Structure 1
Amino acid sequence: MVSHDAVSALEEVFRFIDENADGDDDIPNARELFRGYMARDGGEIDTLEPPRVYRESAAELADGALFDCWYGVDASTVPSKKFRNGMVASAAVASGGALGDCDESVEELETLTAAVHADFEDVDSPVDLIDGDVSLTLVPVEEAPARSELDRWVGASARVPAECWHSKRLADVIDGPLFLDGSLYPMSVLPFVNMTRTSRSADAAIEFEEIEKMGVAASAIQSRLDAIDTLASRGLPTLGFAKTLRSDDVVAALTAKTDALDDSPRIPWDDDSQFISSLLADSEPDHLTFTSWLVRSNQRVYGNDVEPLGGFQMAEDREPRDFRRAFFFVRLPDDIVLRVEAPLMLVDSREDRLRLQQLALAHIAEAGDVPFAVKRADDRARISREARRHLVSLIRGTEEVGDYNTDRRWGFGGGPSLAREPDIVASDDSGTSNGREATDSSTEQSTDSTEPTTKL
């Protein structure tokens, strides 16, 4: 245990920081910056409507359900394990949750994948081991985009196909909206795809066969696009709910939009979690605050502006622009912030934006978190710690290489777990999600005013 003198010294330095660093009252007004500059040209984020912040009662929002049934998708993993013989292995289970007046039989579907980096004779492509309500696929992983990313890439090669393939299986049979845990697309993988595209040519124009060569983690994204298109063709939306804001997309875009000005304002935030927390801060209890819709219009890689979903296969009446990630942020009363995503083609009109924002906010308000359908999918897909230990113990031809600090942190060794179960893929601007539906009038109420919930 640290000494009393050490704690006292730390108290002194933190008091010094508090007295000398800018407080909340000393930084620029986030809402004024958002309203005044977010619609300008520059950066990778564009606005779909005048940038605003709104506030609405959670109770009123929860009454805005638009469908009779809802479905969710989530996956659980066996975190990547390293072995003495050089092997790295991971596995994932994706499941669905069904709520409302729905076909609960879809919950019997499970999509399992096992990803392995090892020397297998005559195995160089995915092998379907079981095909039925419960499907199982073995995914060999030859290499990662970078050697240091191998264990993360193996984990992504298990989780991403499981989630993407399962969303397509559900899209073929469900009769309601589909809610995803995290981003619309796996951001642990898509940036690597675009980096590889850009390294091939300045315009990054490649065929889908080139993406397939990048591995199953990359090509599986096609299944997510197909799922979104399948549902959209039947008038059913797909929404992603990301709880962890790991990106700096909005801050970087705001900085780019203001840098060209002669008298550019100060942007003190380093990432989106800081900025959005300031933007949506509100002292009114039992209310949600949320932004207007934004869209990720391009991804800048090695100096080139890349269409994020270019290179994937599109239906005849679709183009990559249709699948861009449109999104808004919402803050819950307990200060949790979610990023809600939808394909751009579903929110091109003001009417559609109001409708989908209503849908998402209603489910968020009802659950006080990500939608209950996502929570149900999470519960059904969860692999217990005991089951993970048992599965790893079945590999007896070599020994696992343990990391004492990692094992203690994630609860695999002695002592209590010091953190939640990790998301073993690379950094994602998504995370766990929660959601609810809302009313069309919700977007008319703005927290740009300090007055309590009154419609502006």
Structure 2
Amino acid sequence: MTLDPVHVDGIAKLAGQVRETVETSDQEAAAEEVWDSFLDPLWQDGTKILEPLGEQRRRKVPIEDIALADPPFPTQHGLDSGTINPTTFKNGLVLDVAQAAMGSVPSDVELHRGRTIIMAVHSNDATLGFDGEWQGGDRGYAKRRVLDVPQVDRYEQRVVHALALYLAESQHALTNADVVEDLFILDGPIYPTGVLRWADRDTELADLLAEDDRPKTVVNNYVDLVERFVERDVPMVGFIKNSSTKALTRALRRKTNAPWVNDTAFFRRILERRDDDGERQTDCLTTTNWFRSRGGTDGIMAADGDALGIERSLDPEAYEVTFFVLYDPRSDLVFRVEAPYAFTKDPECRAKLTRQILHDVAREQGPPLAIGKADELAKIDRQGSEELTRRIERTFETDREREFNDIRWGAVEESF
């Protein structure tokens, strides 16, 4: 049953009441105070968890001008991975399947054909083991394997999803790293935050991250990736389309008023431009400077972090996460762009990376074309996911577990 119009009107009145309360809080002034007084540097428990690289400032760039400018990196390679999403079957198995692909600008059809595919499988039956060797496919363009996921009593779906996604992504990146000539762009963060967050979310997951080699192997792949690109003197960045980090806002709440739901909301507040009539101005992209970050999961890879005990061959500072934030007023979206400190410690490299990303976003009205191509190659749409899941059901000779909501909301089409 849908809401009656009278109840819709009533709920709208409640929303108006909430709005009146929110308007009494001057979030813009709070954001400006934080920007002016707390970020150079931001301290937490005696540690600088955020500090500017160079001068702390905001800048605006006319969209048309930067879109037409020559990009500083002649070629770009992007990488992404996609999954069918975790699925539980009646035989007790929980699995996810991920595939990773690389896109390039200019296009390289041979490269675009390549895939790395991981099937991550969890079972609570201790007598079963699923790990397999790498297998080839598609005339050598693809490689695939089964990953036996560590046993957990809860969060099985979270574990299979994260390990499948990040192992496929990192392995494909390492396999193809040498073809990257000028710039490498990951679709997402430069380290596997979906795995690193386990340290803060639950004791069982934290123990798994600390003690089991399989998640450490995934994280180690990203450490190796940084080292490979540093050795080749080819910059790498991570372009995060949907950042949910709260490290900054959590630290700020211990010092001052920080009413934003996450860091993205804060940066939107300080980067959005409005005219005298309150209308959003859409002629320029706006950005922050680069920051060096040691808050939240970024602290694991900080110079004084333990990196989960993973051996690092470079100066520990080289692995630290640095980032800048970009706001596109045309879509009202905020993007976070990361890079290892090994590259951004050089002001010239920082400037080139910033110009490249600004150029790409201005032209594409969204993420850079290289990762747009990778996303298109790697994503598994709903129809493809459903077809693959049905094929797995037939292979297993069992069905997936279903709940009432699957039928109620149409998540699964029933066949009779």
* TM-score in terms of structure 2 length: 0.84
- State how far apart, in whole Å, the 2-side matches of 1:197 and 1:320 are: 28
- State how far apart, in whole Å, the 2-side matches of 1:39 and 1:26 are: 20
Could you tell me how far 1:74 is from its partner in structure 2? 0.7
C-alpha contact (below 8 Å) 2:298/2:321 kept by paired residues: no
- The aligned counterpart of 1:128 is 134
- Counterpart of 1:151 (choices 157, 171, 182) is 157
SS in 1 for 2:32: helix
Distance change in 2, residues 1:26/1:311 (3 Å):
closer
Number of equivalent positions: 391
- State how far apart, in whole Å, the 1-side matches of 2:286 and 2:306 are: 29
Write 1 or 2 for the structure with the bigger share of helix. 2
2:50 equivalent to 1:54 = no
1:415-453 CA-to-partner distances (Å, cap 9, x unmatched) read xxxxxxxxxxxxxxxxxxxxxxxxxxxxxxxxxxxxxxx
- State how far apart, in whole Å, the 2-side matches of 1:267 and 1:298 are: 16
Instruction: Provide the aligned C-alpha RMSD in A.
Output: 3.0
Could you tell me how far 1:37 is from its partner in structure 2? 1.5
Could you tell me how far 1:324 is from its partner in structure 2? 1.4
Can you give the 5+ residue segments of structure 2 that lack an aligned partner in the other structure?
A: 274-279
Question: Which residue type is aligned with residue 322 of structure 1?
Answer: A
- Counterpart of 2:362 (choices 365, 377, 380) is 365
The 5-angstrom pairing of residues 345-364 of structure 1 reads 345-364=342-361
Distance change in 2, residues 1:251/1:232 (3 Å):
same
C-alpha contact (below 8 Å) 2:136/2:144 kept by paired residues: yes
- State how far apart, in whole Å, the 2-side matches of 1:213 and 1:386 are: 38
- Counterpart of 2:260 (choices 258, 269, 277) is 269
Could you tell me how far 1:23 is from its partner in structure 2? 5.2
Can you give the 5+ residue segments of structure 1 that lack an aligned partner in the other structure?
A: 201-209, 260-264, 415-456
- Counterpart of 2:243 (choices 242, 245, 248) is 245
The 5-angstrom pairing of residues 322-333 of structure 1 reads 322-333=318-329
SS in 2 for 1:355: helix
Distance change in 2, residues 1:197/1:17 (3 Å):
closer
Question: Which residue type is aligned with residue 227 of structure 1?
Answer: L
1:337-396 CA-to-partner distances (Å, cap 9, x unmatched) read 000000011111322322221222222222111111101111111224333223222334
Could you tell me how far 1:299 is from its partner in structure 2? 4.5
- The aligned counterpart of 1:179 is 185
- State how far apart, in whole Å, the 2-side matches of 1:165 and 1:341 are: 20
- State how far apart, in whole Å, the 2-side matches of 1:103 and 1:398 are: 40
Question: Which residue type is aligned with residue 343 of structure 2?
Answer: L
Distance change in 2, residues 1:127/1:406 (3 Å):
farther
C-alpha contact (below 8 Å) 2:210/2:308 kept by paired residues: no
Distance change in 2, residues 1:407/1:384 (3 Å):
farther
SS in 1 for 2:43: coil
- State how far apart, in whole Å, the 1-side matches of 2:297 and 2:193 are: 15
- State how far apart, in whole Å, the 1-side matches of 2:210 and 2:179 are: 26
User: Is the deviation greater in 405-414 or in 105-114?
Assistant: 405-414
- The aligned counterpart of 2:15 is 14
Could you tell me how far 1:310 is from its partner in structure 2? 4.9
C-alpha contact (below 8 Å) 1:70/1:179 kept by paired residues: yes
1:10-64 CA-to-partner distances (Å, cap 9, x unmatched) read 1221222222332575652413421322013513222223322211111222214
2:279 equivalent to 1:281 = no
- The aligned counterpart of 2:384 is 387
C-alpha contact (below 8 Å) 2:247/2:295 kept by paired residues: no
1:390-413 CA-to-partner distances (Å, cap 9, x unmatched) read 322233432211234367768444
- The aligned counterpart of 1:418 is none
* TM-score in terms of structure 1 length: 0.78
User: Is the deviation greater in 23-32 or in 290-299?
Assistant: 23-32
C-alpha contact (below 8 Å) 2:209/2:215 kept by paired residues: no
C-alpha contact (below 8 Å) 1:309/1:323 kept by paired residues: no
SS in 2 for 1:21: helix
Question: Which residue type is aligned with residue 76 of structure 1?
Answer: G
